[in-house]
Each structure stands twice: as C-alpha cells, then as structure tokens.
Amino acid sequence: MATADGTFDYKERFGEETARTYFRRVGDRAVSSVGLGTYLGDPTDAVDDALYETVQAALESGVNVLDTAVNYRHQRSERVVGRAVRDSDVDRDAAFVATKGGFVPFDGERPENPAQYVQREFVDRGLVDADDLAAGSHSIAPGFVDAMVDRSLENLGLDTIDLYYVHNPETQLDERPAGEVYDQLEATFERLEERVAAGDIVHYGVATWDAFRVARDHERFLDLGEVISRARSAAKTVGNTATHLRAIQVPFNVYMADAFTVESQEGPDGPQSVLWYAHEAGLSVFTSASLAQGEVLSGVPEDVDAKLSGDTPAQRSLNFARSAPGVTSSLAGTTSPEHARENARAGEFEPLGADAFDAVFE
C-alpha cells in the first residue's frame, strides 16, 4: 500500500521538477495533483499493452495517483494497472491506487447476452440479489460491494487498495427513494469499515457523476452531509473510533464547472458548492473528466485560457481543474505514454491562486 514514507520519498524525487503545490495530502500520504484515469480504450490486448506502458510512464514522470474501477474495460484496466505497478521501478509504497465498485463488470469482453451473463455469473452465484440491481447492472448492496473488493484485489494483484469508492450510487435513485439509498450506503460503509480493519483497503469514498453537483431538487441529487453522517454511524456500529470515509470524486473541468458553481450542499452558513463543502468537511476531492473527455484538446475558451499556465491545452486545463478549492488531484484518462508525460508536466506550473480562480467566474 501507499505509505507516508514511500509517497514523501516519491515527492522528494520529483520535487525540483514540479511547482510548490503539485503534491498534496491524503491523510499522511503525498499524492500528485495530476492523476491517471484508466476508463478509456477498447477491451483489446493492444490497448492493454498501451495502457501498461502509460501507467509506467506516469509513475516515472511524477504521477503517483492511479484511478481505475472493476468495470473499466471489462476488468482489463484493473489487471493492467496492477501488473504495471508490480513491474514498475517505482516502489509499491509510492503509488496511490484507487478503484471502484458498483457496476456489474463483464470479464474481458462484452458477452453476447449481457442480461444472461449477469444472471448466471452474479445473481445465480449469490453475489447480488436481483432486487438490488438498478437497470440490471448496478448495485451498492453491501454483499455485492464486498465481493467486488475481493475481485479488485484479485485483479490488481495487490495486498491493499489505497482508496476504494462506491461507484455512482445515484444510479440507484432510478429504482428506489433516496432514504433507501442512504440506508444501503450506510450498510455498505459498515462493510468497508470492516475491510479497513482487515487491512484490505486504507480509506473509502464515493465516486459520482451527477449526485453532488446537481441542484437539490434534481432526481439524482445526494446530500453529502447525509452521506458523511451515514459513514460516521457505520464506523460507530463496527467499533471504529472514526470514519474512514476520506474522499469523493466529481467531474470538473472548464466546460463542466457545476461542482464549483452550483450551491447544492447545505453548509453551516447556508448553501455551498460541493467543492467547498467537501473541503470544509476534511474530504479529499478527486476530479474526473478533467480534460472534458478530450474536448479541451481542441482549445480552452480564450478568456479562461489567458489566465492559465502551461504549454499545451491539456496542461492548462489540468491546471484549471487543480486550481479549484479543495481539489486534491485531477484525473486525466489516456492510453498514450506521451500524453501521460505531457499531463505530468502540467505540474511544472503553478495553478491559479484563489482570487484568480474566482475571477474566472465573475
């Protein structure tokens, strides 16, 4: 697992090449504020090979945050990430590995009949109850998430996962009321607290797409304060002195800034954006879609671009995302070693200061 000594040694290795605020903290670990996402790419051997080289290039370039999920590329991404970490010249204790569970994963390729596959491989084997599935493909039930922790550990070939996310819990709102979703999250958090105690994961979190950045009356809204409260209750139930809920993941980029602009969370002094709320609650924030799924590569809006530092649109866009308040690391997905190195070089430039960032939205 990532350790304080291992990650701070890694920080020292790249410290002279990066700007002052490039490395940030998750607990007592030092993590790069640019991370590598592994969602992209077809489920092929050729992409596996490219992703393997990309993970290696990222680790060798100052990026020690690696983000994946059990369902990404039908479990292939986890398997490649684990193999690349194990083979890397960078020590395991310097790499911060995060993964997720929630979506039912295929195995290597898309089956001809997905519904039959889910029934045979998951429902019939008792890994998930059919009533707990949303859209026939998503569950946050404790037994299912517990099984996916085991699956991810096997895929990665690592002893410990540094950060484990419950993946897009708002998907369940399509099938059941919010109260039931919170109840199920609490039950799953209890299981994850137990996995922390067992040494299988270090921290856990919630990775979302809509939940925390949409308005309170949106059909896919979840209240982060309630999520935190449920995590605290879960920790108390299993006898842990404090919750190990450590992080959230939200999409954020120059074209999708809702996590900063939409005041959907109820703070102590009134409505707040999820970025401010999470920051004040002591949670780390990891941004997904930091390059707007490639849209920024054709150019950043001129009025914003002029305020950002970086040699390329990708670097300037990453520096926008990691300028937002409370952001720990901004993820960029790629299967290109060259692009991974380019993204890492965003860390040579300082992000915007607080006043300059706020001025973008005036």
Lowest mean pLDDT among 225-229, 277-281, 358-362: 358-362
Q: Contact, 196 vs 188, CB < 8 A?
A: no
- Give the count of domains, the chain: 1
Integer Cα distance of 38 and 192 in angstroms: 23
Please give the average per-residue pLDDT across 72-76, as a whole number. Answer: 98
**What is the Cα 185 distance to its own chain's centre?**
17
pTM metric for this prediction: 0.97
Integer Cα distance of 80 and 67 in angstroms: 12
Please give the average per-residue pLDDT across 274-300, as a whole number. Answer: 90
264 pLDDT band (50/70/90 cuts)?
very high
In sequence order, what are the beta bridge partners of 281? none
Residue 301: per-residue pLDDT: 84
For all residues of the chain together, what is the average pLDDT? 96
pLDDT in tens, 6-48: 999 999 999 889 999 999 999 999 999 999 999 999 999 999 9
Residue 356: per-residue pLDDT: 84
Could you tell me the two tokens for 168? 């897009």
**What is the Cα 312 distance to its own chain's centre?**
24
pLDDT in tens, 120-150: 999 999 999 999 999 999 999 999 999 999 9
Percentage of the residues of the chain whose pLDDT score is greater than 90: 92
Percentage of the residues of the chain whose pLDDT score is greater than 70: 100
Supply the range of the domain harboring residue 126.
4-359
Integer Cα distance of 160 and 149 in angstroms: 10
Q: Contact, 61 vs 127, CB < 8 A?
A: no
**Contacts (Cβ under 8 Å, ≥6 apart) of 149:** 101, 161, 164, 192, 195, 200, 201
Q: What is 188-248 written as a DSSP string?
A: HHHHHHHHHHTTSEEEEEEE-SSTTTS-TTSTT---HHHHHHHHHHHHHHHT-SS--EEEE
Assign residue 185 the CATH number of its domain. 3.20.20.100
Q: What is 269-301 written as a DSSP string?
A: TEEE-HHHHHHHHT-EEEEESTTGGGGGGG---
